[in-house]
Amino acid sequence: VLPVGRGSMTGRVASEGQVVHIADIASDEEYSITEAVTLEKTHTMLGVPLLREGVVVGTINLGRQRVQPFTDRQIELVRTFADQAVIAIENARLLDELQARTEELGRSVQELKALGDVTQAVNSTLDLETVLATIVAKAVQLSGTDAGAIYVFDEAQQQFRLSATYGMDEALIAAIRDQRIGAGERLMQQAVSVRGPLQVPDLRQEPSSPTLELILRAGYRSLLAVPLLSRDTIVGALVVRRRDTGTFAAGKIDLLQTFAAQSVLAIQNARLFHEIEDKSRQLEIASKHKSQFLANMSHELRTPLNAILGYTELILDNIYGDMPDKMRAVLERVQSNGKHLLGLINDVLDLSKIEAGQLTLSLTDYSLRELVHAVVVAVESLATEKDLALNVEIAPDLPIGRGDERRLVQVLLNLVGNAIKFTERGSVSIKASVTDGTFTVAVRDTGPGISADHQVKIFEEFAQADTSSTRKKGGTGLGLSIAKRIIELHHGRIWVESVLGEGATFSFTVPVRVERQARQP
């Protein structure tokens, strides 16, 4: 290595950035006797700079052992050689840079592919061991280490549990699994306390511990530990090991931190899934208990209520003798409210059967025409009381259907009853038709209508149109939910169409012939 300066030909050319031609070095005052001796009797010298964009990147030095100056033509020829040398050096530099970039790009592609594989594993399965095994394998392969492991922190036990490994022999894995790696283990504690990567260039310099002794006996000499953190809470650690000593490159550390983040996501997903699974199981058990309770309570309430209604009817029929008009009016109110309560109890009982998957259809042949007429007869007095027109349109060519007639009457009675209840003036219309083996029944009213928001949830349990004009109408909000389940058991569907302020139309379709009820969820 020659310094830039006037103490040597190379230094002088580099310093001046131009051709230096010395006809006789012995007579040149810039050079010392020591250098002349070193040059072994060289007397004439020529130095030409290698210039790239005005910057000296090297020199070409020529010498003669006798005094014989270089001609202008010779100097120009050396200049040409210098220009060619600069091009060659630049090409070599660009080639080295290209190779470095290619290698870097290759590594980046490998890293991106590995991250893609890890992301796919995280998103495609909730099997934590499978995901962590994929992550630790990619971490070891791309970091150029010999083995790795992922530990999951058990907060209740305050211990790290070995969860996934790569490159480790079975004996070492079994031995480490038997070790209780506590949060106080020195290396783990350090990684946790710094909340960042911890590298140990030489494990032999670390204080002894049972786990460290196992690792050293297996031939590992250095490690890098990256804590798995979720909002500054430790959830585990990703550890890679090498059989040789030395530090880890910054790029490798960054890569492992990325894998650590993926590990945290996988662990969180698995924990959330198990929590949701547990909650769902608890809710399912609670729901079954609730349904059973409702069913039992409905039976218990219905028995005495039927007795009350029966005796009330006998008294109203004067079986026990004549009664004053005032008493009759009171008993009629008792009978009316009792029937209303019985309807509510029946709704709750139906709902509990549906939720338990125990609602069974009694499939028989029926006439849709007669079914509609039966419902009309049942509600005529209600429509008359409110001075509402009750319009009925039944297609003349209705075939005999097959289904649960009693349940279909229940559905239509609920729809028509609701229409009358919520309509203050105008009319309620019932239309029944058949198309391509499917019955369609529609109930239209001229009531207040239903907003788009409430149309979305009106068939949910306990849902009602929540307006000041409808809250006072009463009801449990179960009728439409039960109607929907009954229609779905018939392989049909039910829906509502409405514009607020312009009335509503509830429609349902069922196959003309239902030979088997739909499977209950």
Res 467: pLDDT: 46
What is the total count of domains within the chain?
3
Element (H, E) at 509: strand 504-511
Res 121: pLDDT: 64
Is residue 125 domain-shared with residue 25, that is, in the same domain? no
Is residue 506 domain-shared with residue 368, that is, in the same domain? yes
In-domain check, residue 336? no
Sheet of 198-200: strand order equals 181-182, 159-166, 147-154, 233-242, 222-230, 198-200
Q: Take residue 195 and report the two structure tokens written for it.
A: 């909340």
Which domain does 259 fall in, by range?
121-263
In-domain check, residue 173? yes
Is residue 93 domain-shared with residue 127, that is, in the same domain? no
CA distances from 445 to 145, 422, 426, 434, 455 (A): 76, 9, 8, 21, 15
Of the candidates 97, 129, 148, which is a domain's last residue? 97
Q: How far apart (Å, rounded) are the C-alpha atoms in residues 67 and 23?
A: 6
Q: How far apart (Å, rounded) are the C-alpha atoms in residues 336 and 49?
A: 115
In-domain check, residue 340? no
Tell me the pLDDT tens digit for each residue of 250-268: 888 888 888 788 787 777 7
**CB 30 within 8 Å of CB 11:** no
CA distances from 314 to 210, 301, 306 (A): 89, 20, 12
CB-hemisphere CA count at 13 Å for 185? 21
Res 127: pLDDT: 74
Is residue 489 domain-shared with residue 390, that is, in the same domain? yes
Is residue 68 domain-shared with residue 156, that is, in the same domain? no
Is residue 498 domain-shared with residue 380, that is, in the same domain? yes
Is residue 86 domain-shared with residue 189, that is, in the same domain? no
Q: Which residues of the chain carry a pLDDT beneath 70?
A: 1-7, 30-40, 107-112, 114-126, 180, 182-186, 188-189, 192, 291, 294-295, 298-299, 340, 356, 461-477, 521
In-domain check, residue 321? no
In-domain check, residue 390? yes
Of the candidates 263, 295, 317, which is a domain's last residue? 263
Q: What is the 3-state secondary structure (H, E, C) of 154-185?
A: ECCCCEEEEEEEECCCHHHHHHHHHCCEECCC
In-domain check, residue 179? yes
Is residue 31 domain-shared with residue 142, that is, in the same domain? no
Residue in the block written with tokens 């893609």: 116
Q: How is 408-422 classified by DSSP, letter by letter? A: HHHHHHHHHHHHHHH
Give the pTM. 0.47
CA distances from 216 to 213, 221, 243, 273 (A): 5, 7, 9, 38
Give exposure, 469-493, as e/b (b: 16+ Cβ within 10 Å): ebeeeebbbbbbbbbbbbbbbbbbe
Is residue 137 domain-shared with residue 57, that is, in the same domain? no
Q: What is the 3-state secondary structure (H, E, C) of 345-401?
A: HHHHHHHHHHHCCCCCCCCEEEEHHHHHHHHHHHHHHHHHHCCCEEEEEECCCCCEE
Res 489: pLDDT: 94
Q: Take residue 21 and report the two structure tokens written for it.
A: 């031609």
* Alpha carbon of residue 210 to chain centroid: 40
Is residue 74 domain-shared with residue 134, that is, in the same domain? no
In-domain check, residue 251? yes
Burial of 261 (0-12, 13-18, 19+ CB in 10 A): middle
CATH code, 86: 3.30.450.40
Q: How far apart (Å, rounded) are the C-alpha atoms in residues 369 and 380?
A: 16
**CB 387 within 8 Å of CB 403:** no
* Alpha carbon of residue 439 to chain centroid: 42
Element (H, E) at 253: helix 250-316
Residue in the block written with tokens 């928001």: 453
CATH code, 408: 3.30.565.10
Of the candidates 235, 263, 291, which is a domain's last residue? 263
Is residue 217 domain-shared with residue 86, that is, in the same domain? no
Q: Take residue 193 and report the two structure tokens written for it.
A: 């306390």
Is residue 149 domain-shared with residue 78, that is, in the same domain? no
Calculate Rg over the CA atoms of the chain.
46
Tell me the pLDDT tens digit for each residue of 227-244: 888 877 888 888 999 999
Res 507: pLDDT: 97
In-domain check, residue 333? no
Res 2: pLDDT: 53
